[in-house]
Amino acid sequence: MTQFNSTPTKSAAPQPAPQEKPTRLSLAFIAFVFSILSPVPCCPFVGFISTPLSILALWKLRDSKDGRSRQLARAAMALSLVGLVVQAVTYETLSEWVLKDIGRNMNTSMQAAFANEYAKCVVAVTPNPLAPIARAAPTAEQLEVFSNLTKQRYGELRDISIISQVGDGGMFDVAMTAAITLRFTKRETTGSAVFQLVPQSDSWIPATRLIELTVDDSTLGDVVLAPTPEINHKHE
């Protein structure tokens, strides 16, 4: 006679749903945090970090069933791209603003040179760890000769227009060269000027220290103010 075992068999225990790897979730969260900071002007390079992080998080979560984490990664990517655009616009606007202020400072320095105001055009450089080494500049005697000669030839200065300006040098030792148009009471001519930009502790805009100033004159010879023993010009 066949006997049956009445002992119930144990069914297999249900397996828990696979959990997302912590690294995937944390990566999406970190990318989101960085993306929030990316549009902030004081964090100019955060967008370059949050963008690849958000792309990496999306790639790692491509097969994930955690919709919230994927949304977080997508939001991080969107915010990162917006932050990069905002930073680009902010940087361009700030650069234009700084260059305009530097241009005004250069104009003021040149006006002072033609008016023989030495302290206003050849700014003193106070020694400190962030200040550049003072470059050679014209002397007060050279400036006086230059100012008197330009007045004798061309009359009083009416206006100076900066046509273009180009910077050169290191972060804390920048030289700015400008092409200029000069309008005097007797005539109008062109010229050029070279400045050393000196950082200021009380202003974002550096001071402009005049190094060279040239008035073009193909007839009588250029009038040049430069850190040399004498000003090169033809005698009247």
231 or 140, which is more confident? 140
Category of 221 on φ-ψ map: left (φ > 0), alpha (ψ -120 to 50) or beta: left
**Predicted confidence (pLDDT) per residue in 2-54, tens digit:** 554 555 555 555 555 454 455 556 778 888 888 888 777 667 678 788 888 88
Q: How many CB atoms lie within 10 A of CB 169?
A: 13
Residue 205 φ then ψ, to 5°: -90, 125
48 domain-assigned: yes
Q: What is the pLDDT of residue 235?
A: 40
One domain for residues 80 and 150: no
pLDDT of 231 > 50? The answer is no
43 domain-assigned: yes
171 domain-assigned: yes
- Say what the pTM is: 0.61
110 domain-assigned: no
Task: Place 134 in a pLDDT band, splitting at 50, 70 and 90.
Answer: confident
Q: Cβ(207)–Cβ(197) under 8 Å?
A: yes
126 domain-assigned: yes
Residue 113, token pair as written in the block: 């040179």
List of residues 6+ apart from 167 with CB closer than 8 A = 174, 175, 176, 177, 197
Q: How many CB atoms lie within 10 A of CB 122?
A: 24
One domain for residues 126 and 209: yes
Task: Place 88 in a pLDDT band, splitting at 50, 70 and 90.
Answer: confident
One domain for residues 211 and 126: yes
User: What domain range includes position 46?
Assistant: 22-91
List Cβ<8 Å contacts ≥24 apart for 18-22. 20/64, 20/66, 20/69
Q: How many residues are recorded in the chain?
A: 236
Task: Place 171 in a pLDDT band, splitting at 50, 70 and 90.
Answer: low
- The Cα 101–Cα 93 span in angstroms is 13
Please tell me the total count of domains within the chain.
2
One domain for residues 208 and 131: yes
59 domain-assigned: yes
pLDDT of 234 > 50? The answer is no
Residue 6 φ then ψ, to 5°: -85, 0
Residue 11, token pair as written in the block: 């069914």
Residue 114 φ then ψ, to 5°: -70, -25
The string of DSSP codes covering the chain is ------SPPPPPPPPPPPPPPHHHHHHHHHHHHHHHHTT-TT-TTTHHHHHHHHHHHHHHTTT-S-HHHHHHHHHHHHHHHHHHHHHHHHHHHHHHHHHHHHHHHHHHHHHHHHTT-HHHHS------TTSPPPPP---HHHHHHHHHHHHHHH-SEEEEEEEEEEEEEETTEEEEEEEEEEEESS-EEEEEEEEEEEEETTEEEEEEEEEEEEE--TTT--EEE-SSSS------
- The Cα 150–Cα 143 span in angstroms is 11
